[in-house]
Amino acid sequence: MMMKIKICGITNSNDALACAAAGVDMIGLNFYEQSPRYIRPEQARAIARKLFLSTQAVGIFVNAPVEEVRRVAHDVGLRVVQLHGSESPEVCAELARDFEIIKALRMDDRFDAQRASAYPRCTILLDTYDEEIAGGTGNVGDWELARTTKKFASRLILAGGLNPENVAQAFATVHPDGVDVCSGVETAPGVKDPGRIQQFVAAARNAERIEAARPC
């Protein structure tokens, strides 16, 4: 199965369409009001309706009540939800009845790779821990720890400080099922650079091709 490429923190239709044209598989629409990339559900709905069928919209929530997640996701027309807070395995399992769930875990010095096994029905997204910001920090994570974590996850998306310059090395080290970039393709929070998006996709796909060509 091909690696999934996700661009997070989309705030407008032009950036969404630039992602789709570049071959991005998923875009992230952020419903966390404290984020500089927050958008209202009605804005997200307008963006999602313009996407190509090959590009999927993902709703990002941070410690939101289950019913709020359901309501917003249904209103926007989302099938994939990313939970980026301290949501319990039980909350994730409950929402997994209705949606495909991406559960974000944030790595720091105390991170236990086996935490991923507590979310068997979720795709695990590994991001870099920051005391003040829930995501989109631009800080590079521990790729060796991410590689270990992959053993305990059903599927793993690598995030945290990725950009067109380092995504190939990240892929070669971790071999994730997906890669996620936010600030690494921006000119300002929530403002994407189409050229950087294209460079990121090209670098990620090239790394994937190189790995596939290696002899077993």
Query: Which positions are annotated as active-site residues?
Result: 8, 127
State how beta strands 156-158 and 178-181 pair. parallel
The C-alpha atoms of residue 47 and residue 41 are separated, in whole angstroms, by 10
Residues 6+ positions from 189 with CB-CB distance below 8 Å: 9, 36, 37, 136, 183
Residue (of 169, 143, 127) closest to 8 by Cα position: 127
The C-alpha atoms of residue 152 and residue 164 are separated, in whole angstroms, by 27
The C-alpha atoms of residue 128 and residue 44 are separated, in whole angstroms, by 25
The C-alpha atoms of residue 174 and residue 26 are separated, in whole angstroms, by 20
Amino acid at 181: V
